[in-house]
Amino acid sequence: MPLDSSKKLSILYILEVLKEYSNETHPLKQEDILNKIYNIYGMECERKSIGANIDLLIDLGYDIIKLKKGCYLGQREIEPSEVTFLIDAIFSSKSIDGEHAKKLSKKLMGLLSKHDRKNYNYIYNSNHVTRTDNKQVFYNIEIIHSAIEQNKKISFNYQRFYFDKQKREQRKSKRLYVSPYFFVNNQGKYYLVCAFNNTEDVANYRVDNMKEVQIVDDERRDIKQLKNFTKGLDMAAYASKNQYMLSADPIVAKVKISNDYAENYVSDWFGDNARFEMENEEIFAYISSTESTIIYWCLQYGENIELIEPVATREKIKNIIKGMSEKYDR
């Protein structure tokens, strides 16, 4: 038998009240629910209908926990711990301006009860994080997603700093035309992995530095035409081997580990792309990554890491260190 409109509304209101006002430590009695429906929505309900409608919601699959002291909504679309993780991820992202971070966080918090939301007052400090001032990051992402779905190229102006004012002005008016493939979230920043027409390598561009993104009515290049992508697209593999998002050819590097703790540096950065071996009672790691990533990583952890192979990459590091040393010897 179809439900009349008032009964449909009462079931909906009961669910909304449980979402907003109940949790494990704040169960609601039927009388509490009855009063809130009247005070918030102006609807009068019979007390006996509250219990019947709660049972109906349970039959429909909602995790409503019934206790002697009341009931509460148990499992939600998203749990408080998951909200915490996502909000922390939003705050750590430098691709989002402070106001947008607040809005996104509040949308997530809307999935929690008012009691759980009290734990998130720190969102008002989000502007203290160093962030982009590009208000169109999410708009840019939407446009680029549309281009990828339509298999089209995009164009954009890329903003970067130059000391030379004339060069800055020239750069502002220079549009880049690329074939977009996928995004990588790296160290709190969004990068677009893309390719130009005249190269076989992919390029990485920060989305928050893009201005005036537009879809171009040309088909994008097949990614299989590019070097290192002849077997197709593997976003996870690309991201895991490009921690610094610097385009370069992949290599297998052999590094010497000076102490046990330094093994964590390898595992934290490279995970399954690294393997450890003992050779003559010394620890070595063999790492699959890009040359540029290996160079900057070795410079970062140079006190405890020594690159052994490839020799050509080792020479590049030596030259960088020599140049740095000369600057500090002045």
pLDDT in tens, 52-93: 999 999 998 999 999 999 999 988 877 777 777 777 677 666
101's tokens:
């971070």
Facing residues of 194 across strands? 180, 203
The 3-state DSSP class for residue 8 equals: helix
Rounded Cα distance, 298 and 244, in Å: 12
pLDDT for 254 equals: 94
Which one-letter amino acid corresponds to residue 49? Answer: S
> What are the C-alpha distances in Å from 3 to residues 10, 14, 234?
11, 15, 50
The 3-state DSSP class for residue 141 equals: helix
pLDDT for 255 equals: 93
Q: Do residues 261 and 320 touch, judged by C-beta distance below 8 A?
A: no
Rounded Cα distance, 258 and 4, in Å: 74
pLDDT for 45 equals: 86
In 3D space, the residue among 101, 93, 24, 36 whose CA is nearest the CA of residue 64 turns out to be 24
290: Cβ–Cβ under 8 A, 6 or more apart, which residues?
241, 242, 246, 247, 248, 249, 250, 251
Written as tens digits, the pLDDT of the chain (330 aa) is 345 566 778 899 999 999 999 988 899 999 999 999 989 988 888 888 899 999 999 998 999 999 999 999 988 877 777 777 777 677 666 666 777 777 888 888 888 888 777 666 544 443 444 455 556 777 888 899 889 889 999 999 987 766 666 766 666 667 899 999 988 777 667 788 899 988 888 888 888 888 889 999 999 999 888 877 888 777 667 766 666 666 566 789 999 988 777 788 888 788 888 888 888 888 899 998 888 889 989 998 888 899 999 999 999 999 999 999 998 887
pLDDT for 204 equals: 86
In 3D space, the residue among 21, 25, 24 whose CA is nearest the CA of residue 13 turns out to be 21
270: Cβ–Cβ under 8 A, 6 or more apart, which residues?
240, 243, 287, 288, 289
Which one-letter amino acid corresponds to residue 300? Answer: Q
What phi and psi values does residue 36 have, to the nearest 5 degrees? Answer: -65, -40
Residue 34: how many other CB atoms lie within 10 Å: 21
Burial (CB count within 10 angstroms: exposed 0-12, middle 13-18, buried 19+), residue 194: buried
